[in-house]
Structure 1
Amino acid sequence: MAENHTAGEGGRPTFNVVDHVSWTVPDLDAALAFYRDVLGATELYRMGPLDAADLPVGDDGRDWMASHVGVSGARLTLVMLKLSDNLNFQLVQYDKPSDRRQDVPRNCDRGGHHLAFKVDDVEAAAAWLAQHGCTPLEVIEIAEGPLAGKKNLYIQDPFGHQLELVD
């Protein structure tokens, strides 16, 4: 696909497609196994470990990780997955810095997020995921409005991230 660099209204650049979504996980190999074996993702490539201590410092004195990922002194490894035909999904494990947070934001917290999957059968998908370490909430049955007759379900992956199943 040819790239379109034509500026839009007011000089806004054209944003063509979403390239990928990225989540930080506590154990890259375990997360890779879950998303590959349980959800059917395909590994595209792996990079790292990349350590700020091994990369050149910029002219401004900041280390490479501070200049490029916004985390000084970082050490990370990443895997890019093809999660579906329309989504590449990157998993990243940071081993440094030591003061990195380990809690996952709730849906209502700043930075809160979830990844929604369209499925044929919400209950069947939830049962499959529950058998593989996920924690389901209760099914939302929509009786009225533009989504009447639909079902949704929030379910937590084994690493604390929220997923949503939508029929």
Structure 2
Amino acid sequence: MKKIKTLSALALMAVFSTQVLAGMPGMRGTQHLGITVPNVKEATAFFKDVIGCESFYSIGPFGPFDDDWMTENLNVDKKAVIKTAHLMRCGNGPALEIFEYTAPDQKMTPPRNSDIGGHHLAFYVDDMDAAVAFLEEKGIKVLGKPHTFTDTGMKGLTWVYFMAPWGMQLEIVSYPFGQGYEKETGRRMWDPRY
């Protein structure tokens, strides 16, 4: 019986090792999210004063360059310039790298979630009602009212979207008693509460 338990444990370890090693070698997780904004100073003030992120440092400017460096390395117009990029930490999560670019072909309208390349950032909060009230007191546009999932893997998660002053979609979520998927598996998605 002891031999069978040992073999079972080794088999599980082999499966787990395969899952961990199946992707990019050495990948440990999300380190930062990069976003482009119309004004880095205003955006960093918003993330610091409204969201509660911590400022670290700025880099730049980069460009303009006489060659195709910007296109070859960043997939942007060769005449694009990164005026500045500012790094911030938002609680227990990946850093934000906030860019201010100029480029001849720059689009000034942020994509919607339904657009290819659409995106949003979600922040975990302990108290959804207090967070929504805070955003509304600051004059931040909150889209609708908080909704709570009653089924699926997200059962127990409450969410609501809100808008950054420059039109970027953001979200707050809360699941103080966990999410539904946790009852189905011992595996866990990343969770800012821990």
2:53 to 41, 58, 69: 41
1:84 to 88, 91, 101: 91
CA distance in 1, matches of 2:25, 2:157: 37
Say if 1:104 and 1:124 are closer, same or farther in 2 by CA, change over 3 A: same
CA distance in 2, matches of 1:86, 1:103: 27
Aligned 1:3-152 pairs, distance under 5 A: 8-9=21-22, 12-53=24-65, 62-71=67-76, 72-76=78-82, 77-95=84-102, 97-142=103-148, 144-146=150-152, 147-152=154-159
**Ranges of 4+ aligned residues in structure 1 off by more than 3 Å:** 146-150
Contact 2:149 2:158 in 1 (8 A): no
Choose 1 or 2 for highest CA Rg. Answer: 2
Give RMSD over aligned pairs: 2.1
Give structure 1 stretches of 5+ with no counterpart. 1-6
Moved more, 23-32 or 41-50: 41-50
CA distance in 2, matches of 1:26, 1:134: 18
Contact 1:151 1:166 in 2 (8 A): yes
CA distance in 2, matches of 1:33, 1:143: 32
User: Is 1:155 paired with 2:162?
Assistant: yes
For residue 12 of structure 1, report the CA deviation from its aligned partner.
4.5
Say if 1:161 and 1:64 are closer, same or farther in 2 by CA, change over 3 A: same
Alignment length, in residue pairs?
A: 152
The alignment's TM-score, normalised by the length of structure 1, stands at: 0.80
Contact 2:79 2:104 in 1 (8 A): no
Structure with greater strand percent: 1
Contact 1:23 1:91 in 2 (8 A): yes
Percent identity among equivalent residues?
Answer: 34
For residue 52 of structure 1, report the CA deviation from its aligned partner.
2.4
1:164 to 162, 171, 192: 171
Give structure 2 stretches of 5+ with no counterpart. 1-19, 175-194
SS across alignment from 1:107 = coil
For residue 143 of structure 1, report the CA deviation from its aligned partner.
5.8
Give the structure 2 partner of residue 4 of structure 1.
none
